[in-house]
Structure 1
Amino acid sequence: MPELQPLRPDHAPALLAFERENRAYFAATVPDRGEEYFARFEERLRALLDDQAAGAGFFHVVTGAEGEVLGRVNLYEVTDGSADLGYRIAERAAGRGLATWGVREVCARAAERYGLTVLTASTTLDNAASRAVLSRTGFTVVGATQLSGRPGLSYRRSL
């Protein structure tokens, strides 16, 4: 059974391994994070944890039975009761409903624990799996967007 855990400093090694192992897989549907992300991983993790402590973001890892990171589901740019949603699931765990489960869990936490009322998300047009997750979890399309020069859609969900 997977578990959704708030991001903690001790997740760092497993999270970095997750990002490295899935880099090419993610880059097929979302803009690549680039070498800078990996070179400054510890610094970026500390910044996320600082944002989380300040209530400016709520970051989560999806872990498996052995404590391995299978995914991330994050709320960022938290302002005035709203936040942006981002998520990614490991290639080896894809296609089993884990993203849908994780997004539903985060939506519940957003309303019940974090006091949020609206979530937004974006995905590229060629990311059919992500579009399906957003649709299944109550998000509706609100417009077109560009993500790193790629055409996409913007979504919104009231909580």
Structure 2
Amino acid sequence: MTVLQRLRPDHAPALLAFERENRAYFAASVPDRGDDYFTSFEARHAELLAEQAAGAHHFHVLADGDGAVLGRVNLVDVDGGSAELGYRIAERAAGRGLATSGVREVCAAAFSEYGLTVVRARTTSDNTGSRAVLERTGFVETGATTLMGKPALRFTRELSEAGG
């Protein structure tokens, strides 16, 4: 069983393993984090936790029963009741509905726990999987943009008590 958990200090080893194992897979669709991310991981993890404690971001992991990280679902740039959604799922867990369930859970928490009313997201136009996740979870396409120099789409989801 996979559970969504708010990022904690003890997630660091499993999160680093997740990022290392999936580095090439993620780099195919999002910018690579760079070598410094991995060599300075402990310090970066501490920074993220401090930013989360300050309310600037809300970071989450999708962990299996053994504590292995299978995905991340984050709300970043929290401001004025809104935030930007970002997520990534391990290659070995892709296609199992984890992104969809994780996004649904984070949207519910965004409303009930973090007091947000709007969540925004972006994805490249050619990322059909990510677009499908956003559409399945109640996001509405709101326009075109660019992401990583590629054509992309913007999405928005209004949050409510009934639908998170």
TM-score under structure 2 length normalisation:
0.94
1:47 maps to what in 2?
A: 47
Alpha-carbon separation, structure 1, partners of 2:2 and 2:139: 23
Shift of 1:141: 1.0
Q: 1:29, 1:126 within 8 Å by CA — same for their partners in 2?
A: no
| SS in structure 1 of the partner of residue 29 of structure 2 | coil
What corresponds to 1:135 in structure 2?
A: 135
Equivalences for residues 1-159 of structure 1 within 5 A:
1-159=1-159
- Contact 1:118 / 1:158 at 8 angstroms: preserved in 2? yes
**Cα-to-partner distance string for 1:43-99 (whole Å, 9 max, x where unaligned):** 221111011111111100000011100000000100010000000000100001000
User: Alpha-carbon deviation of 1:126?
Assistant: 1.8
Aligned with 1:32: secondary structure?
coil
CA distance in 2, matches of 1:79, 1:20: 31
SS for the counterpart of 1:71 is: strand
Shift of 1:40: 2.2
Task: Report the secondary structure of 2:96's partner residue.
Answer: coil
Deviation per CA, 1:97-128: give whole Å up to 9, x if none: 00000000000000001000000011111211
Q: Post-superposition, which runs of at least 4 consecutive aligned residues in structure 1 deviate over 3 A? A: none
Work out whether residues 124 and 150 of structure 1, in 8 Å CA contact, stay in contact via their aligned partners in 2.
yes
Partner of 1:20: helix, strand, or coil? Answer: helix
> How far 1:39 sits from its partner (Å)?
2.4
How many residue pairs get aligned? The number is: 159
CA distance in 1, matches of 2:154, 2:44: 26
- Sequence identity (%): 69
Using the TM superposition, give the Cα deviation of residue 28 of structure 1 relative to its aligned residue in structure 2, in angstroms: 1.3
TM-score, normalization by structure 1: 0.97
How far apart are the structure 1 equivalents of 2:151 and 2:83?
22
Could you tell me whether the CA contact under 8 Å between 1:118 and 1:157 is conserved in 2? yes
Give the deviation of 1:36 after TM superposition.
2.3
